[in-house]
Amino acid sequence: MEVRTKTTERELTIGLRGELDHHSAREVVTAMERAADAALPSSLVMDFGGVTFMDSSGIAVVMRAERRMCALGGSLVLVNVPQQARRVFDAAGISAHVRMEGPPDQA
C-alpha cells in the first residue's frame, strides 16, 4: 500500500493507493498519525481514489481518523471512494455518519 501525505494550510490530505487490508492497515495508521501530529490539521481529507480493495480493516482506519479529528476539533471527509470500498462502508453503516464526496474539484 502506498500512502502519500500532503499538507496545505491546515488541511491534511492522505492519498491511498493499493489494497487496504489488515496486512497494510498498520502502515496507513502510522503514516496518518505522524502527519496529523505534525500538521495538527483542522481538516483531514482521505483520498480513496487509488484503493483497489478494502475490507473491515479500512473501517477501523477511518474510525481512528474520525476520533483523531474529533479530538482536534476538525473535520474528516473521504473522497473518490471506489464502488467496492463504498459497499463495505455501506454494509458497516459508516456511510451514514462519515462525509463522502466525489473528486474534490467536483464537490
Ligand X SMILES: Nc1ncnc2c1ncn2[C@@H]1O[C@H](COP(=O)(O)OP(=O)(O)OP(=O)(O)O)[C@@H](O)[C@H]1O
Q: Which of residues 61-80 bind another protein (CB under 8 A)?
A: 63-64
Residue 84 site contact among another protein, ligand X, none (CB < 5 to 8 Å, cut-off depends on kind)? another protein
Residue pair 101/107 in contact (Cβ under 8 Å)? The answer is yes
Instruction: Report the residue from 8, 52, 56, 84 that binds ligand X according to the rule CB under 6 A.
Output: 56
**Which CB sits closer to another protein, 6 or 23?**
23
Residue pair 3/31 in contact (Cβ under 8 Å)? The answer is yes
Measured CA to CA, the distance from residue 82 to residue 72 in angstroms comes to 28
Measured CA to CA, the distance from residue 103 to residue 48 in angstroms comes to 10
Q: Which of 45, 54, 47, 50 is nearest to 90 (CA)?
A: 54
Instruction: Report the residue from 10, 22, 34, 99 that binds another protein according to the rule CB under 8 A.
Output: 22
Binding site for another protein (CB under 8 A): 19, 21-23, 25-26, 29, 53-57, 59-60, 63-64, 83-84, 87-88, 91-93
Binding site for ligand X (CB under 6 A): 56-57, 60
